[in-house]
Amino acid sequence: MKEFTESEYYEFLKSHNSIELFGKKFELKKPVIKELQLQDFKPELTTLFSFEERGIWATHYLNAAYRGNFAPQIARNMILRYSKEGETVLDPMCGSGTTLIECKLLNRNGVGIDLNKKAVIFTRNRLDFDCSSKTKISTYVGDARKLDKLANESIDLIVTHPPYANIIEYGEKIEGDLSALNVEPFVQEMRVIAKEFYRVLKPDHYCAILMGDTRKKKHYVPMAFMVMQEFLKAGFLLKEDIIKEQWNCSATPYWEKRSLTDNFFLIMHEHLFVFRKPEK
């Protein structure tokens, strides 16, 4: 893990006004805030989450073009339910910074890590807005399999959204990239990650991870449950299995046609597993 600080981000801006991620150019100008907080928020009360509209508050509305991002309503519900103000929330695969944006808005300290330095720069851009929060947000370039800068039992909550093996091609070609792996080696690496999560999380605290499934030769591959088993083997207890309905997938029209000709149902859900680390 190597920290990439806010001051390093501003230094980067002196010679760069954009970055390129998965073939897209993203400008690094200071974000414009249309609406700082989510209005009329109501916490989810059931094990079915469905968010037809992505977040429009803070800088979330700018993240629609970021491949593989997740709904900020998920991060908000997990943070509010499983942590307190001033506590520390970790997202070890932070991507476009969704979890960290919510940490800043909800007065939690945030730690974000990503294997891709450009993703960390992107996250720093999305955090570049003013609000009354006094908490600290730290960002690192690093690997979720080796959280070497984090002490044992130092984290109050983990909220993260890993890649689903090689389902989405990010095209960055970074050594150790989980999104370059087939299902079986991906699950093996998630075993290592589960052990690291268990090490850094405080006892009687929670880890929320959003995972999806896939198909192979037209048959269902329950990848989410395979990952869940690795977390259970690492010592976690399963607190919740929340079904999250998928909306607005860009590839849906293509797969709708294939569904009829190749005789399979479209996968339109993900699993939001909430694990608890037992007390000593």
Q: Taking a C-beta distance cutoff of 8 angstroms, is the pair 79, 56 a contact?
A: no
What's the rounded mean pLDDT across residues 40-62? 92
Place of tokens 């037809």: 52
Q: What is the pLDDT of residue 180?
A: 87
Average pLDDT over all residues of the chain = 93
What's the rounded mean pLDDT across residues 51-58? 88
Q: What is the pLDDT of residue 74?
A: 97
Phi, psi of 37 (to 5 degrees): -115, 155
Residue 166 has pLDDT above 70, yes or no: yes
DSSP label at 30? P
pLDDT-derived band of residue 171, with 50, 70 and 90 as boundaries?
Answer: low
Lowest-confidence pick of 3-17, 89-103, 182-196, 241-255: 241-255
What's the rounded mean pLDDT across residues 215-224? 92
Report the predicted TM-score, pTM, of the whole model to 2 decimal places: 0.94
Looking at the DSSP bridge assignments, the partners of residue 24 are: 21
Q: What percent of the chain has pLDDT over 90?
A: 76
pLDDT-derived band of residue 253, with 50, 70 and 90 as boundaries?
Answer: confident
For the chain, the domains span 2-276
Radius of gyration of the chain (CA): 18
Residue 249 has pLDDT above 70, yes or no: no
Phi, psi of 69 (to 5 degrees): -70, 165
Distance CA 21, CA 9 (A): 17
- Domain 2-276: CATH architecture, name and number where available: 3-Layer(aba) Sandwich (3.40)
Helix, strand, coil percentages (3-state) for the chain, rounded to 5, are: 30, 25, 45
Q: What angle do CA 81, 125, 152 make, to 5 degrees?
A: 50
